[in-house]
Chains A and B, each alone.
Chain A
């Protein structure tokens, strides 16, 4: 019973750790956490970056360590899980809704491979129109692409689908 309570408390703490580049999403909602264990030494968290060259990885690790240690008063050990790769299907439905409200188009669900249509046919997060085009597959962060909405005349970013 003790363990169950602690695990739940770890997940609560993780839900308070926001992504530094998308501050409306927690590391849990982004699907970055692959394993949580609690033993006599403390809390062990395994996590994965969205893109392998993500420059925010060290900051995120530190933020997780701090949040878990602060909320549970236990030592925390955060490691990168090499056996699991992040892919965009790991984003929860709540996360996608939050992304859209934040002004970033969420990635569609893929079946193991990302096809060109998923990149090109993106509805505008501002007005909902599908009359958009891909302006560049690279945006302000590695995980984002640049699009333009011909309906409302706004540039917007898409969280890239990744297989």
Chain B
């Protein structure tokens, strides 16, 4: 595989993760358990979708890609490369919060590595995004710690949420076909290295919260190859419903 194919593969999976989890986050708008959380999940949704747009824009400008809106809303589910963690329904707040914690720490590690990337457009974007992500992990860490010290039921639910999310979170780091090339070209250090760094970063918070980190026995792979749960198609139907009424419309 050439770098001309390897780079888009990397960009698409990261952008799709952000677009899909961004839309999931936005489902909390109006439903958050307290007003601050409603605002927080809505703001994070806005950030994620904005980051996805910026990555799709790199695809358009550097790899002859299509218009970001078309690319986001007109693809079939099998063309999406998001991990299963991102596409799962919001569930209850404990699930969404734990997903946000695990996902945003992974994003932080990823963008920190991208900020050293040999691929300049990605490096420039990452330098900007990694500063913004601090607010996402700060938010996640604060609520994980708060809910884990808020009583037995709360703690038990957070542990259950961690158990439910952990193998799914392993799927964020599903190795890609072109990884050896991307590592050799210093685009980024590869999924295995990111996974290790992620574990190093989440472990102190998990420990401080008194939670037990499960073993990563069966990471949920497939998303990066276009294999998805039924939830993705349902989300895509809803997400693109208005767009598909008139794909050429200007907004």
Q: Which of A52, A87, A119, A142 contacts B43 (CB 8 A)?
A: A142
Question: Complex formed: what's the CA distance from A114 to B128 in Å?
Answer: 13
> CB distance A85 to B135 under 8 Å?
no
A42 at the binding interface (Cβ < 8 Å): no
Q: Mark A47-89, 1 if CB is under 8 A from B, else 0.
A: 0000111110000000000000000000000000011011100
B132 CB, min distance to chain A CBs, angstroms = 6
Residue of A nearest to B47 (CB): A53
Asked if residues B134 and A83 are in contact (CB atoms below 8 Å), the reply is no
CB pair B129 A137 closer than 8 Å: no
Residue A135 at the chain B interface, CB threshold 8 Å: yes
Instruction: With A52-B125, A136-B39, A138-B39 as known contacts, state yes or no: A160 contacts B47, CB within 8 Å.
Output: no
CB distance B51 to A53 under 8 Å? yes
- With an 8 Å Cβ cutoff, the count of chain A residues facing the other chain is 25
- B135 near A137 with CB under 8 A, answer yes
Is A108's beta carbon under 8 Å from chain B?
A: no
- On chain B, the residues within 8 Å of A87 by CB distance are 131
Shortest Cβ gap from B156 to chain A (Å):
25
Candidates A114, A137, A138, A145; contact of B131 at CB < 8 Å = A114
CB atoms of A137 and B139 under 8 A apart: yes
Query: Which residues of chain A have a CB within 8 Å of any CB of chain B?
Result: 51-55, 82-83, 85-87, 114, 116, 119, 135-140, 142, 145-146, 160, 162-163
Which residues from chain B sit less than 8 Å from chain A, CB to CB?
36-37, 39-40, 42-44, 46-51, 53-54, 121, 124-125, 127-129, 131-132, 134-135, 138-139, 142
- A-B contacts, 23 of them at CB < 8 A, read A52-B50, A52-B128, A53-B51, A53-B132, A54-B50, A87-B131, A114-B131, A114-B134, A136-B36, A136-B39, A137-B40, A137-B135, A137-B139, A138-B40, A138-B43, A140-B39, A142-B43, A142-B46, A142-B47, A145-B135, A146-B39, A162-B132, A163-B131
